[in-house]
Structure 1
Amino acid sequence: MLPNKIARVRFMRQTNLRTDYQHSIAISLLRGLAALQVAAAHVRAQFYPGLSTIPDPSAGYQVLAFFTGFAHQAVVIFFLLSGWLVGGSLMNKLDQPHAMLSYAIDRISRLWIVLAPAFAASLLIGVVTGELAPWRAANAIPAEFSLVTFAGNMFGLQDLAVPRYGGNFALWSLTYETWYYILFPLAVLMFARPGALPKAASAVAVAFIAWHLNAAILLYFTLWLMGAGFSRIHIRAGRKLKWGFAALFALVAAWFRVKGSNNILVEESYVQDLLYSLLFLVLLCSLQAKVPPTATLTRRLGRIGRFFAEFSFSLYVIHVPLIFLLRHLNERQLGIDELDPGGLSDFGLYVSMVMLIVLLAWLFHLPFEAQTYRVRRRLKAWMLPRVQPQNIA
């Protein structure tokens, strides 16, 4: 048995994406928890007054504000896990025929099968709430509901060329994610392609795209790349050392929650997020061990994690339009514009709204996100008839 004070590092030839390992269970749990954290944070921000605006907040509300205030860190986790799963999977398959075309099918299907119906739902919710009234001749369609904005958001151009569709303020992170999906394979081709001309073409494409992106997107691409790189690292550590990694990561996350930047990802928050990311990835690398058959609790957590991970993207994309709908219904039906931070019944209403949003997101994912792998298989059977389709995250 490895001494608890010693950690051994080795580099792996392939990213381990098997689901029966500790790190895979942790990834599933974190994908679901991160989406839930973002949704809970946004519900609180939309229905409760800001903590800093309350002269003497109750202890209960301070606890609620603290534990629903990790949305910033949750988005960083999303990027790190995306780099680990998406980047690691692509690197595993570079030697396969038509790897890049297969990758493009995977990424487009992953995004569009959720985004298109989510934007349609936003359109309907806009009609219900009165934000969009196309039948009135005097009312022009707002820019955030236009076809140009729809198309721009499908291609990750929100905040770069068009507004976020339907006022869905959570869509800012998909701009980052979409361009990381594009930049990473181009960067890989700079090194993997034979011949000077293809390498130069990839480099020019990377430089052209980078020129049109802002500094924050490019800075945080390094964290996404870290996720991909660390997916090839195995840190063999004893149980106590693993718990030490986890405790240090939790303490740093809590410290940044209280003292750090907790808005969207910008240049000013990069250094704190770099440290946070390093600690998280070290912890994840130390969990690259197979789950023993006797670890009943761990395997049960794995099933729970996979359940929530399966609709985490749907929850992330659809929760803001659902918040808009709930605000409208609360104001119209209940006469509630803002929740009382000290009221127990209002806290119950808050919890009920979060649970309802999670339930509706799960129902929303069934005809769309849950069909992602089926759609991929059909697309690959049509476009890559000689390639056996394989699923990636």
Structure 2
Amino acid sequence: MLSIKIARVRFLQQTNLRTDYQHSVAISLLRGLAALQVAAAHVRAQFYPGLSTIADPSAGYQALAFFTGFAHQAVVIFFLLSGWLVGGSLMNKLNEPHAMLSYAIDRITRLWIVLAPAFVASLLIGVAIGALSPPGGGDGIPEEYTLATFVGNLFGLQDLAVPRYGGNFALWSLTYETWYYVLFPLAVLMFARQGGWAKASAAVAVTVIAWHLNAAILLYFTLWLLGAGCSRIQVDASPMAKWTLAGVFVLVATWFRLKGSNDILVEESYLQDLLYSLLFLALLCSLQSKVGPADRLVLRLGRIGSFFAEFSFSLYVIHVPLIFLVRHINKSQLGIERLDPASLSDFGLYTSIVVLIVLLAWLFHLPFEAQTYRVRRRLKEWMLPRAQPQNIA
């Protein structure tokens, strides 16, 4: 135990995944907000001209560009929360029977229940917008729509061996995430399990995988691991210390939004994202306290967060194909190719597009992502008949 004047740091035996704690409320809310931020940023980028290309942008458009410009930070949040939830959950269950097989079922169902139907939807949208010919049309299939690309994207090989399926540029981050799902249990086997052959096999597998990944993926794995590690840390801090930490975090995030690297995660953006991550995780660790029955605002935020978190992955995966479809309809049916940054009515159209995409993503998740735990439970009953099915976020 480490004590300082305004905070006390404690190391937990188990990752606290209970939903009636402040940090769980924050996690649910941030998962939804991060997906919304990415979708709003991409809608703006696809429909509006870039801010730097406008000679004298209005104050309103500058505000819109600023507040929808945190997609880079949102993806970092995704990775940190993934490490906290997925890594923390696996560490909690290491001593349970068939822990690794159960983990594999959890991860595969989490990804494929959403990705496979999203890729089918992308294929249909591609036909609708003329990106490829319908079956029997006579033209060849573009590489980004081939079966090999479909399967490669299911296994996280986009940008490594195949293009992103259907031109869905948001899929780059799933390459990172998929291989973190693979690397983490192998790293755990190297250090947490007895048996020389198991340790050696895991080490060889990690080495082979790392050899085929790029430097950025490996660098950002350390942030994912930070999320997993910090899930075992509780910081008992005063309210003033929490608000101060939150204020510093917001200031740093704003500074990096204005002055830092804001494209995909690359080596050049790692140090800024490391600092950003440490501040965020310190804040999250300080929220590991139970929500009281009188905390009505926190309880209300928890309900809102849970609603959006339930389909955040669907929104992330499907929003780009939906943007392509809406953009095609606007251009072919309405003659609208670009929105006017100075037009209030065009801002209303932009807002309507974002709301429509969020609504369609919610509808899309109902037959797929919303059924994840049901499918997962049945698979475990079949493959692990003696084990109690466990859910991992």
Q: What is the TM-score when the length of structure 1 is the normalising length?
A: 0.98
Partner AA of 1:26 in structure 2: A
Which string of whole-angstrom CA distances, capped at 9 and with x for unpartnered residues, describes residues 323-362 of structure 1?
A: 0000100001110010000100000000000000000000
Residue 185 of structure 1: aligned partner: 185
Matched residue SS, 1:392? coil
Task: Give the count of matched residue pairs.
Answer: 391
Mean Cα deviation higher: 159-168 or 191-200: 191-200
Equivalent-residue separation in structure 2 for 1:353 and 1:75 (angstroms): 22
Partner AA of 1:285 in structure 2: C
Residue 97 of structure 1: aligned partner: 97
Instruction: Please say if residues 4 and 239 of structure 1, whose CA atoms lie closer than 8 Å, have aligned partners that are also in contact.
Output: no
Matched residue SS, 2:389? coil
Equivalent-residue separation in structure 1 for 2:169 and 2:188 (angstroms): 31
Instruction: Tell me whether 1:62 sits opposite 2:62 in the alignment.
Output: yes
Partner AA of 1:101 in structure 2: L
Change over 3 Å in CA distance of 1:345–1:391 after alignment to 2: same
Greater than 6 Å deviation, 4+ residue runs = none
Matched residue SS, 2:386? coil
Instruction: Tell me whether 1:290 sits opposite 2:290 in the alignment.
Output: yes
Equivalent-residue separation in structure 2 for 1:135 and 1:90 (angstroms): 44
Residue 229 of structure 1: aligned partner: 229
Instruction: Please say if residues 43 and 350 of structure 1, whose CA atoms lie closer than 8 Å, have aligned partners that are also in contact.
Output: yes
Equivalent-residue separation in structure 2 for 1:303 and 1:245 (angstroms): 25
Partner AA of 1:208 in structure 2: V
Q: CA deviation at 1:384?
A: 0.1
Partner AA of 1:165 in structure 2: Y
Matched residue SS, 2:177? helix
Equivalent-residue separation in structure 2 for 1:137 and 1:127 (angstroms): 10
Equivalent-residue separation in structure 1 for 2:179 and 2:112 (angstroms): 14
Q: Which runs of 5+ in 2 are unaligned?
A: none
Q: CA deviation at 1:262?
A: 0.4
Equivalent-residue separation in structure 1 for 2:240 and 2:229 (angstroms): 25
Residue 255 of structure 2: aligned partner: 255
- Give the RMSD, CA atoms, in angstroms: 1.1
Matches within 5 A, 1:313-352: 313-352=313-352
Residue 25 of structure 2: aligned partner: 25
Q: Which runs of 5+ in 1 are unaligned?
A: none
Matches within 5 A, 1:62-211: 62-135=62-135, 137-211=137-211
Identity percentage of aligned residues: 81
Equivalent-residue separation in structure 1 for 2:262 and 2:69 (angstroms): 8
Q: CA deviation at 1:138?
A: 4.1
Change over 3 Å in CA distance of 1:214–1:4 after alignment to 2: closer
Residue 373 of structure 1: aligned partner: 373
Matched residue SS, 1:328? helix
Partner AA of 1:170 in structure 2: A
Q: CA deviation at 1:134?
A: 3.5
Q: CA deviation at 1:387?
A: 0.3
Partner AA of 1:169 in structure 2: F
